Structure 1
Amino acid sequence: MRRRRGRISRVLTLIAGLLGGAVAALVAACLLATWIITLVVEARYPPAGRRVAVEGGHLAVIEAGPGEGAPSRGTVVLLHGASANAMDPMLAIGRRLAGDGFRVLSFDRPGFGYSDRIAPDAASPAVQARLIGEALAAMKVGPALIVGHSWSGALATAIALDHPERVAGLALLAPVSHPWPGGGVGGYAGWYRSLPGRILLTIATYTVAAPLGYTWLDRFAEAVFRPQGLPAGYLDGARVPLVLRPSTFAANLRDLDGLYGFLQRQSPRYREITAPTVIVAGDSDPVVKTDVHARALAREVPGAKLVVVPGVGHMLQYVAADTVVAEIEALAARERAGAGAE
């Protein structure tokens, strides 16, 4: 009996050693794959604009249209949503607005694209608002039309509330603006708020996230565009794979994690917004519910105009670009008329 137990013990020890070695080999392979994917992605999508110094680091910005000091119809600042970068809104509407005579500045938010994360608390839209404001001041940009999509609905409204001198008008596209049902502990993005969840996601960020993301990125993008289809060339044109880099992937998770609590604090302040505001949303948005966010925001921001596009989902800056551009141009005209009346 002792001999049998001894043999069983040795077999179990051997199996544990083999499994441990296999796990270690798998982790090493995933780390290597993540490193290679990061190098490939950054080689394929190098910096496309310039970096602007702010306190603690730099923000990257892509520019189009008339340059500094040249005549223009106004300055438009584009702020991208989650899992994206400055090229996303530039590809969708930025170049078109530039062709219409606007100076367009599209920022990589802190930690995305080629912007530094800068601050430990940079997940807060209020901190990102301060950094964007510093960059605009460094670029000598006066009050601008601030265009925020999705997550950046919270950022754009934070700029309007905390730095109103930077804002000539607000265009909010499918904006996240309010705490949403089920968004607290255990709700959307809440599954990784526990300590085990955070540990597992940290490990995944540096091992399997990039290889799996690279394989399934088109399917993730298709889900965001529903009920419309994924435009041809979107992933490459919008440089979406940049989000797979571990530092950006981690920043994206932290931004999502802190958003609900931030909106609990900010949303009671929307009646303080004084900038002319237009809100554009699709009535079929499966990602950011229009009734919870856009309609509620339109009721609370004084004088806000709400445009709900029938049958359109979350990525309306692509699938309803004509409507979005027309509303931004109307907002610019409204702002100029208001300035001329003063």
Structure 2
Amino acid sequence: MPPGPEPRSRRILRVLTAFLGGIAALVLALAAGGALATWFITRQVEARYPPAGRTVPVTGGHLAVLEAGPGEGRPSRGTVVLLHGASANGMDPMQAFGRRLAGDGFRVLAFDRPGFGWSERIAGPAAASPTVQARLIAEALEAMGVGPATFVGHSWSGALAATLALDHPDRVSGLVLLAPALYPWPGGTVSGYAGWSRFPLGRALLWIATRTIAAPLGLTWLDRFAAAVFRPDPLPADYVDAARVPLVLRPATFAANLQDLDGLYGFLAGQSPRYPEIAVPTTIVAGDIDPIVRTEVHAVPMARAVPGARLVVLPGIGHMLHYTATDTVVSEIEAVTARQRAGAD
């Protein structure tokens, strides 16, 4: 006898199974394509932006540092250490004003923070803490034979520079904080990484995302993201390439950036009450229309907290003031070093 008609429930199950199988195959194909694109983008980015400085061994790995100005043992007007913000690397401040300081006779060192540029992510996720990054940078400076220096921290690294002054005061002779993130801000964390990473499935999805879609999407939107950070000022035509911004698209660096952003709020809640302990010449420079790090939340209370601190608020200037108000930044760094010399006499 010929087979009877297929039961409706079985037919529905068969169609649903085929549909889900097709969806799974499509997802796997997209993931494989994203992984291949990420691999290709990573190789291209690293080939275009190879290491430009030297590496310094520290406990657990190495940090990369760019150097300009008089070398070790040569007369200089002092040593200035540059610390970059989120989504960046040491070339960002070096291009903006580091080379100019070097031309004025300063020895300038610009570190790639752990996990950024060509520095290793020493200590893994724990390296999201400015405490860990400060310890590693202090260790690198000791290995390099660098004495007390003026630290210039932009944005995220405003917190890092303050940590160095608090936890490693023998390394810090002065602070210049540019559009610094220093206090807990309204709204809490930034990227949501911390919430997702609490669960195994969330960690797995984040791991997959950073290795499949983050780099291709990031490359597509990189100029627009950079323009948003510079707003209301125009994006310099050569910024993305000259500052080596695409290095942040590599999977490990992308994940490190998310970790650093998400860990900062809680860290600042603990550190900010300690700011009155800072005992070196300190200047805070911020724009009055910074849309990224609000001046009234961070720079203004810091100037009140640190004894003798100087606050410079620039009218009509946004977050990337080291590019858009370079003359002021350089003059304030020179003024801090002059205050150090006057205090030493």
Question: What TM-score, normalized to structure 1?
Answer: 0.96
- Quick check: 2:193–2:262 contact (8 Å CA) kept in 1? no
1:112 aligns to 2:110 (yes or no)? no
Superposed CA deviations along residues 106-140 of structure 1, whole A, max 9, x for unmatched, are: 00000000001111311100110010000010110
Superposed CA deviations along residues 52-90 of structure 1, whole A, max 9, x for unmatched, are: 011111000000000001111000000000000000000
Report the residue type matching 2:17 in the other structure: T
Q: 1:20 maps to what in 2? A: 24
Percent identity of equivalent pairs: 71
Report the residue type matching 1:76 in the other structure: V
Structure 1 unaligned segments of length 5 or more: list them: none
Which region of structure 1 is more displaced relative to structure 2, 16-25 or 73-82?
16-25
Which of 143, 147, 150 pairs up with 1:138?
143
Q: Distance in 2 between matches of 1:197 and 1:280?
A: 38
Superposed CA deviations along residues 188-232 of structure 1, whole A, max 9, x for unmatched, are: 334751436554333211110000000100000011001101011
- Quick check: 1:169–1:332 contact (8 Å CA) kept in 2? yes
1:247 aligns to 2:252 (yes or no)? yes
1:31 aligns to 2:35 (yes or no)? yes
Q: After TM superposition, where is structure 1 displaced by more than 6 Å over at least 4 residues in a row? A: none
- Quick check: 1:171–1:280 contact (8 Å CA) kept in 2? yes
Structure 2 unaligned segments of length 5 or more: list them: none
Name the Cα RMSD after superposition: 1.2
Report the residue type matching 1:19 in the other structure: I
Question: Superposition pairs for residues 1-342 of structure 1, below 5 Å?
Answer: 2-120=6-124, 121-183=126-188, 187-190=189-192, 193-194=195-196, 195=199, 198-340=203-345
Q: Distance in 1 between matches of 2:223 and 2:114?
A: 24
Q: Distance in 1 between matches of 2:185 and 2:48?
A: 37
* Residue aligned with 2:150, SS: strand
Report the residue type matching 1:299 in the other structure: R
Q: Distance in 1 between matches of 2:55 and 2:190?
A: 33
Q: Distance in 2 between matches of 1:211 and 1:188?
A: 21
Q: Distance in 2 between matches of 1:284 and 1:88?
A: 21
Assess, with a 3 A threshold, how the Cα gap between structure 1 residues 192 and 272 changes in structure 2: closer, same or farther: closer
Q: Distance in 2 between matches of 1:188 and 1:245?
A: 20
Q: Distance in 1 between matches of 2:167 and 2:297?
A: 23
